[in-house]
Amino acid sequence: MQPRETQPDAEHAPVAPEESSGAALLSAPLAGPVPTPLPEAAPLPTVRSEDGRVVLTDATLTVRGQEFLLLELERAELTPVRWILWYLLGGMGLAMVMIAFLQNWLRTGPAMFGMATAALLLVYGHRGTNRLRLFRLGREMVHFALPGETGPWQRLMAEANRRIYGVHDRAAREAATLLAAADEATRQAAAAAAAAQESQAANNNSAGNGLSSNG
């Protein structure tokens, strides 16, 4: 047994290093600045098709009375579609009437009427329609038929896609801002808890020293 003089004091006895806690890790400052809240976006003007079948606002897309939120849409796709049946009937009818007229099987009047009818069928089938497909996030797509010229519909759907992408981009930035604010609140709470723990430990040490001195 060692003499009392050679034994180390309790205050200076070697102590194992304290393991780092989760609070200390959370109290570390986050990398990068915290994003500021996004300013309120100005409302976009409402766009309507000439026949009123499609209405586009800054938050919704209405097609034939059915409304969709831009946030639930992935994109809109417009494809011109030809009516092959009417197109073939018109072409075959025109060819048959012309052959019959050249073979003197038909007179001029019936031949002209037949060629005009076949030409109308050919034009009608060639014009066709416009197929609109709306891709929805996590759900099946929706199909619509939009008659008329393809150009105006394509411009309207391009504007719809631009607004759809804008809505998704803003939602992603708002989510990033909220996540950064939550991380900052967690960091501040962890720092406050660590400071309170250090203060409590200091108070305990001072109380222990006072009792030792009194003894």
For residue range 116-133, list pLDDT tens digits in order.
888 887 777 766 789 999
Residues 98-112: tens digit of each pLDDT: 888 788 887 888 888
Lowest average pLDDT, out of 40-54, 141-155, 194-208, goes to 194-208
Q: Is the pLDDT of residue 5 over 60?
A: no
pLDDT (0 to 100) of residue 89 = 77
Greater confidence (153 vs 207) lies with 153
For the CA atoms of 119, 120, 121, 127, the dihedral, rounded to the nearest 10 degrees, stands at 110
Residues 10-33: tens digit of each pLDDT: 444 444 444 444 433 333 444 445
C-alpha distances in angstroms, 181 versus 134, 172, 188, 193?
35, 14, 11, 18
pTM for this entry? 0.57
pLDDT range class, residue 41, cuts 50, 70, 90? low
- Report how far Cα 214 is from the mean position of its chain's Cα atoms: 70
Please report where in the chains the tokens 């586009």 appear, as a residue: 56
Greater confidence (86 vs 26) lies with 86
Sign of CA pseudo-dihedral 155, 157, 161, 167 = positive
The whole-number average pLDDT for the span 179-208 is 78
Percent pLDDT > 70 in the chain is: 73
Identify each DSSP E strand in the chain by its residue range: 47-48, 54-56, 60-63, 66-69, 73-81, 129-136, 142-146
